[in-house]
Chains A and B, each alone.
Chain A
Amino acid sequence: MNDQTQISREQRIEKLQGQGCNRKRVEDVRFTQGKGNYVDDIKLPGMLFGDFVRSPYGHAKINSIDTEAALKVPGVLAVITADDLKPLNLHYMPTLAGDVQAVLADEKVLFQGQEVAFVVATDRYAAADGVDQVLVDYEALPVINDPHKSMDDDAPTLREDIAGKMEGAHGTRKHNNHIFFWEEGDKEGTDKALADAEVVVEEKITYQRVHPCPLETCGCVASMDKVTGKLTVWGTFQAPHAVRTIASLITDIAEHNIRIISPDIGGGSGNKVGVYPGYICSIVASIVTGAPVKWVEDRIENLTATAFARDYHMTGKLGATKEGIITGLSAHVLADHGAFDACADPTKFPAGFFSIVTGAYDIPVAHVGVDGVYTNKAPGGVAYRCSFRVTEAAYLIERMINILALKLDMDPAEIRMKNFIKKEQFPYNSALGWEYDSGDYHTAMEKALEAVDYKGLRAEQAENRAAFDRGETRSLMGIGIAFFTEIVGAGPVKNCDILGLGMFDSCEIRIHPTGSAVARLGTISQGQGHATTFPQIIASEIGIPAEDITLEEGDTDTAPYGLGTYGSRSTPVAGAATAMAARKIKAKAQMIAAYLLEVHDGDLEWDVDRFQVKGNPEMHKTMKEIAFAAYSVAIPGLEPGLEAVSYYDPPNMTYPFGAYIGVVDIDVDTGVTEVRRFYALDDCGTRINPMIIEGQVHGGLTEALAITMGQIISYDEIGNISGGSMIDFFLPTAVETPNWETGFTETPSPHHPIGAKGVGESPNVGGVPALSNAVIDAFAHKGLTHSQMPHDHWRVWQTAQKLGLTE
């Protein structure tokens, strides 16, 4: 009966491919053969295509829309405008941030690329032809492209739909173009600390507008079955269940009649969290035509109209003693949210978790205030591979502490070590109200400094600087350190929700009679490898080999309700649910084993893949045997079957951290900056699959490189976007991307069932300040305290020129 008795305990553990091993990805067999199933691969009989007429203006009144010529184009079936949506009350849709967004422009357009009309045709070419033939008469209006001017007395009112309505979703608005003011901390105490401080540094630090730009753009296929009344939507959704609930609320279709399916997703990075006009228009078009309707945006539409990230204009102030002990921090942010407030943050946090801005430091008092404003730019403000506004916060504190170090003539590593929260202070309550779960910052920093031979690097830099001054080289070396603390895994339902939906997550596990299993989660992978890693958690918990566990996500008809994948929440929340569901199964399995072995369940102990009698391991039942018994043996007092579901509401967020060090060489005459080496030490708590963690770190660092060194989306004074295509939006190729070095420490989260914290976003959060600090450090000895990102060649050259260094 027992085929596993002949193999050793070590072999049994190895066979599980559980937590901590570099299990190869099960997703790859499809993806390497072109057998992925992304939304644009979906083809249904009679499927139609939708395409948008978009605004060429940044701000304009719409006098008229003439669809006559478009409707004559062969293949065009319908042209939908705001006037068609009004009777359905669908011309505006709610955003995740408590605002509304025009589905199709109603009387005016507010940003270049805004959706004006939706053309439905038999194929994508006919739809594009139809788009060309829609004639819109616009009347240009004055444009606000600078958030600093949004609240000027003479600023034009952008949002006439809410003009005069001064009570917003997050309190009172000060101006028609004001969205919210949000603050946290002790303002009076902070002002006093800064007034009393021996040293104060202040800097204006901008984190430019960028875009997640996943390789697959956003899209959907909506199919309304008129016979059954059931609406099915396949789409690029990072939060399929939330989409279902929102779709039900705004369309009045009963929720059980809506099925949302996220198929394979070609990268998300926050871009696919929100609800976009294309989804609504496709649904409406399918209802109107009775046929399935596909809409997939092209790259230019993606970069110009679907969720941007950042655009935070920050002012930081740090007070400290002469010895470099920080005594207070204040920060103010002017947040450019574009034309509609479509930020994807937990509802009660209009500036996300920006109040993590005290970072890894024991700062006694702090205050932050954030003003959100409207401009004539695309809406968004999503967490581009970071938890909500955490990367902005990390950038501010990690730049400010370097500026303080420079002022005090201290080494940036030394000032960090002086101010770190100490290991024994955890759980640590920050001045801005967060309870950091665990950390050992000094050890991580020391390990990173040693890994790169930091002292050696500084000595080399001193030589480089001397050689530069002697005219022997035209290259300057910069060393950048960043130490970040993330706050991820939103989150406790008591304070984290999206439109009222609590941010728990879920896992359902069903064990089959022969001992294999299926697990379904409320999350959805976009490249993170959930089908590989979540079975590893289950394998370690209940002794079923990972390869015998199928993982399903993304279909709201089958998966348990969850809030989806973003903000590094899959492992902290759904990973916890997975472990908890597995433990419920284990508890029942113990009762079954006790019955089978005719012992009291308290006399059993768990060992790898079986329950055994304490002191007599020869008497045991493997999980495989128990599974079969669950379906074949009548056990008094126990229901048949072996399955469980867990809805996990985390007691706290998790706080991954890391120490990153980058070295750059800058040619001052061209501004060309090369990343010579970059070392990233990450502590994400318990490591489930180191191979996947390192892969995530490589990818996140490459995105950090992109942001720091080149990405920017900007608008001219009449609202024209630049950075709206891959021609001028920087995405690093294999040539610009260096080899990344990785390291780790492992400080488990005390409140997470398996101690894991999440990692996917850490490298973006830590990578940006480390690289930016490196570039600025190259010029620090010449008097540079700060320069704004991106540090592309042109801007770096300008910096060198301003410092009088160029020839």
Chain B
Amino acid sequence: MSEIDISMTINGQKIEAKADPRTLLIHFLREDQNITGPHIGCDTSHCGACTVDMDGLSVKSCTVFVGQANGKDITTIEGMAHADGTLHALQTAFSEQHGLQCGFCTPGMITRAYRLLQENPDPTEKEIRYGISGNLCRCTGYQNIVKAIQVAAKELSSVKEAAE
């Protein structure tokens, strides 16, 4: 199969590569680009472990062909921390609120929560629960994940207010 040219921005860095057109974005990220934060938990778009941010939308990278991501701006868990190395409020809150156990869903969950808080900076508990319902966790029962997102939302809005 002839390969196609791929160019995209991953976590702020422009990359160029060649790929078999049927390659899934998750495999391209994990196996060609060594971005192993996003995980594979199903293959059917149910679990959300592979969630990445693509041009401002949460997508499940197990059901996106690499060609569909051509020219796009991708952010994964690896791109969540600030340029100075300090962690994003969500990363800190997940740890502080014990919002993770085995850690397998965490990269997808945080990446999804990141977009959720862009879409809705002050979500209710119900909005958070619906907002992350495309991401499964088998360890935490979601309770502390929801708490972590609430805490991060508060933190982010107070930082924003202080800046204004």
Contacts and interface: CB of A to CB of B under 8 A. Distances in A.
Contact of B139 (A25, A527, A691): A527
27 contacts: A24-B98, A28-B94, A29-B95, A32-B77, A33-B91, A34-B35, A36-B106, A41-B30, A125-B23, A215-B39, A264-B103, A269-B138, A300-B43, A528-B101, A691-B98, A694-B98, A699-B139, A702-B141, A726-B46, A727-B44, A733-B136, A734-B129, A734-B132, A734-B135, A737-B129, A739-B143, A740-B143
B153 to A, nearest CB: 15
B142 to A, nearest CB: 4
| Chain A at the B interface: SS class | loop
A570 B145 CA distance: 25
Given A24-B95, A214-B138, A298-B43, A33 B80 contact: yes
Nearest to B22: A125
Interface string A721-755: 00001110001011101011000000000000000
Give 9 nearest A-B pairs by CB, closest first.
Answer: A34-B37, A266-B104, A527-B102, A31-B103, A698-B141, A702-B141, A527-B101, A34-B77, A726-B46
B142 A734 contact: yes
Contacts of A740: 141, 143
A33 B81 contact: yes
A698 B106 CA distance: 16
Interface of B: 20, 22-23, 27, 30-31, 34-44, 46-47, 49, 76-78, 80-81, 87, 91-92, 94-96, 98, 100-107, 110, 128-130, 132-146
B95 A267 contact: no
Contacts of B107: 31, 34, 36
B138 A31 contact: no
Given A34-B107, A36-B104, A265-B102, A215 B41 contact: yes
Contacts of A168: none
B137 A215 contact: yes
Contact of B140 (A266, A300, A698, A739): A698
Nearest to A212: B138
Nearest to A742: B143
B142 A737 contact: yes
A716 interface: no
A696 B132 CA distance: 20
Contacts of B146: 734
A235 to B, nearest CB: 15
A432 interface: no
B39 to A, nearest CB: 7
A695 B136 contact: no
Nearest to B134: A733
A674 interface: no
B101 A735 contact: no
A118 B27 CA distance: 21
A216 interface: yes
A698 to B, nearest CB: 4
B36 A34 contact: yes
Interface residues of A, number: 58
B129 to A, nearest CB: 4
A214 B138 CA distance: 6
A322 interface: no
Nearest to A299: B42
A664 interface: no
B44 A299 contact: yes
Interface in A8-62: 24-25, 27-36, 38, 40-41, 43
A564 B37 CA distance: 27
Interface in A271-299: 296, 298-299
A699 B101 contact: yes
B49 A735 contact: no
B20 to A, nearest CB: 7
Given A726-B44, A734-B128, A34 B38 contact: yes
A36 B41 contact: no
A701 interface: yes
Contacts of A695: 98, 101, 139-140, 144
